[in-house]
Structure 1
Amino acid sequence: MLYIVPTPIGNLEDITFRAIRILKKVDFILAENIKNSKKLLNYYKIKNILKSYHSYNEYKIILNIITFLKKGNDIALISDAGTPIISDPGFLLVKYCIKNKIKVSCLPGATAFLPALINSGFYINEFTFIGFLPHKQGKNNKLKTICKESRTIILYESPYRILETLFLIKKFLGKKQKKISLCREISKKFEETIIGNINDIIYFFKKKTPKGEFVIILQGN
């Protein structure tokens, strides 16, 4: 069995009893960043083997992982934070498991976009999750299409590119009066949600240095 195990996105208490039990019982844990994951395992006194699994090595080691699983062993996959595969490595591994008739079980748990979406107060019966935008090529075209979308849009962005992305959103929104919600540091001490029109949000972050990973919610029609 391959277990997909969500881990806290901020507060270490945001993990389920089941997730802790699975992380203790599997033969080993695949982690995106071993150093970061050790903090979580140490906090819950989980003494298990951590092996590196990330976008730079997944093609090299995937057949070894599949062979190990085929022998009847159990593996857990975790990312730096939140639910693996959502804007993190892991899709390839799940695809190979399904192809090889290996059972996959994804545990429910923490992810950044749902709290941010609910905190926005926007209409959320229909929404579109985009995740991270391309850093350079294709970013403009992607945002141009997004700004025409009638459903609520969810984006992830880093503090280093947030202002650039906000200026592009302003450009492609034109005269549309859509509200924006920015949520950062979800479940952490300095969690913050800012809601307003695009000019309000840009002005706010011109005066205050952006910190933490951001979830951008663009209001739908």
Structure 2
Amino acid sequence: MREQPEQQAPPVQRLRIRYAKRGRLRFTSHRDFSRAFERALVRARVPMAYSSGFNPHPRISYAGAAPTGAASEAEYLEIGLATRTDPDDVRRELDAVMPDGLDVVAVAESPGGALADLLTASRWRIDTQADPTALAEAVPVFLAADSVLVERMTKKGMREFDCRAAVHDLAADGSSLELVLHHTVPAVRPDDVLSGLRGLTGLEVPGAPLLTRTGQGVLDVGSGELADPLG
């Protein structure tokens, strides 16, 4: 029988980290980012806690990652540490060794609970080359619809779902859209909303739009504000 591995001590501190994906690094997949981040933890000498078992790995919890190709100013993860460390020191040391375009924005001590429970909605900006007048006319038609069905290829094949139900707010700003999305299952993405606008109104959106997540958190339905997960 294999000898049982040594049990690792639980983390003595948990830190929540907000990071950004900018420029060409928006094309980084979640797997690519996780590899880059784990290398950065080693280079920054962050005192990570590790899981127990035959293949110990650093205690990192990812939540609500943006789709590949989307830029973001509000991505979040949580790490467990083996010794207590000043959060600002971790932010400074990590940001110094991360690739340009993957930037550590803020680090705060976790008060406990699940990080995913604090990420229930996202605010997006969609920059397009669409005609501003056509865009402004399409938005109220979309918002007035009871449902807007779209199709997208998933890991389980082509799937049809209602993208309207996830939209809390949608507004035109010139040739751009400001969008607030509830996190639903299946997840509705900003490009799904664009597909819904095209299918419902015939809106023409030439070229590839730039998707940028500008915020993420718990949505206050009354005010439309997102609570800061690090607050």
Q: If the length of structure 1 is used for normalisation, what is the TM-score?
A: 0.29
Per residue, is there more strand in 1 or in 2?
2
Q: If the length of structure 2 is used for normalisation, what is the TM-score?
A: 0.28
